[in-house]
Structure 1
């Protein structure tokens, strides 16, 4: 059973040094915004514990606990993988890992976007009562999503065994790719979290857009299938290249299924990461001190 008194005491102890933090009266600078990110990172004991407690609280009194995450993702991936492999007449040994890994990565991306838009609203009590860095709540959310991702990776390991996918050194490229996903999860949650706290219509709008993005991103279909058909259909496959989420998927999915992501996927993701971090810092510089009044 969760010891709320102990957790409250731990939270108070880990934020006791926040009185030395940058005051709200300080001028708006990128240095102060970056300092918030650093200060929040240094409070890792706080957001690690809070994120872990989120998992325990969500599956409290459940027999399987977080394994329900894995089961739900696995069932959905297998069902859609089998269905679309028959519709597109694609070898199941190739298509099922493609769909499954796509689902796993998509779960992390959509979670950071959808839950990120409500990250400060959901933590209204902590924001008003605890003098911690604003980024603590973002790190907590991304850590929680990373735990979900880790649970779902069990499905990928099972697929490696079932389809006898060879384990090669190329798969190690998935590690820096996952690190990039996590970094992007931070700026996405911070940027949309601040914007959606000020404009409450942003959160439901993002949810609708994420749902739409799922269908236009090669998760349950492949660009190779469209290109093989030739003509206008092949040209439409090039439209998928405009979708940045496609490139995020590819740098992780290709190494995990035994392939190799093209270099341009990495360059596009790196460019989006730097632009996104810049937007997040700009947003923090302008409005981070107002979040406590908006929630």
Structure 2
């Protein structure tokens, strides 16, 4: 009986592996994104390899990014807390989380624009889901994000501020942020593969969006013009991470806006994949 059970389990396992390999090589635009998201082991390995290559022969490695961010937070925190008449104990963590999340978003957007272009040599030679390349971009930047955020939390401990119950919402917030970064990278990779002029346009938009997003300033300073932040998707993506860390009350609007953005974004990316999946290698 044990031998029969073991043989059946082996057969099922082999059949699942064959089916998985068949999906990997014979996917379509409809199943591209689904097949890629099913294999986090692959795009995590690729993303981790990118980090090791980028910081090769470096002692601190990606922590150089964390150190530079903390220096910027420290300098801007002491400067703008004085200019805006804010308490440094409250303002420094607010600014730190906002800057770290913004750098994650802006890096994903910029690298997403050249996602397929940078991976053209792989796309032209190996049959695999194109979405893997954008998941790779999102993953490597997400890893950097995960070892930068704890520095802000340690900074809060230094000032005598401790996380509250709302801190538990950080984990679903990070998941929503990561998934939103995936579809953003995917949409921009497809569009920029076809129209290369979009890349500098996106860079200019990001520069302007930074000053219109409540990162160095708070929403309540708008005084009756809070709608400018409410219609800013970047603000909501930052807030679902920043509010739980700082222990602020749950903002239903930010969570709802981020989830709606996630659904609409994946719908758009899926439509683009279905229509243009087979053309992308020729555009490269």
Q: TM-score, structure 1 length as denominator?
A: 0.85
CA contact (8 A) 1:69 1:151 kept: no
1:65 alignment counterpart: 61
**3-state SS of paired residue (1:235):** coil
Superposition pairs of residues 125-144 of structure 1, within 5 angstroms: 125-144=121-140
Cα deviation, residue 251, structure 1: 1.3
1:265 alignment counterpart: 254
1:196 alignment counterpart: 192
1:289 alignment counterpart: 278
2:50 alignment counterpart: 54
Q: CA separation of 1:19/1:212 partners in 2, compared to 1, >3 Å: closer, same or farther?
A: closer
**3-state SS of paired residue (1:129):** coil
Residue deviations 1:70-93, cap 9 Å, x none? 101111111111111000110011
1:9 alignment counterpart: none
CA contact (8 A) 1:97 1:257 kept: yes
Residue deviations 1:1-52, cap 9 Å, x none? xxxxxxxxxxxxxx965674136xxxxxxxx42x111211233332221111
1:247 alignment counterpart: 236
2:96 is equivalent to residue 100 of structure 1:
yes
Structure 2: runs of 5+ lacking an equivalent: 1-19
Q: 1:207 aligns with which of 203, 215, 228?
A: 203
2:261 is equivalent to residue 256 of structure 1:
no
CA contact (8 A) 2:213 2:232 kept: yes
Q: TM-score, structure 2 length as denominator?
A: 0.89
2:77 alignment counterpart: 81
Cα RMSD, aligned residues only: 1.6
Cα deviation, residue 253, structure 1: 0.5
Residue deviations 1:88-117, cap 9 Å, x none? 110011110100000111111112211111
1:7 alignment counterpart: none
2:30 is equivalent to residue 41 of structure 1:
no
CA contact (8 A) 1:40 1:133 kept: yes
Q: 2:267 aligns with which of 275, 278, 282?
A: 278
For 1:243 and 1:288, the matched residues in 2 are separated by 30
For 2:24 and 2:44, the matched residues in 1 are separated by 21
Deviates more, 1:260-269 or 1:60-69: 260-269
For 2:198 and 2:281, the matched residues in 1 are separated by 18
2:161 is equivalent to residue 161 of structure 1:
no
1:22 alignment counterpart: 27
**3-state SS of paired residue (1:236):** coil
Cα deviation, residue 286, structure 1: 1.0
CA contact (8 A) 1:51 1:140 kept: yes
Cα deviation, residue 213, structure 1: 0.6
2:3 alignment counterpart: none
Superposition pairs of residues 108-123 of structure 1, within 5 angstroms: 108-123=104-119
Cα deviation, residue 159, structure 1: 1.4
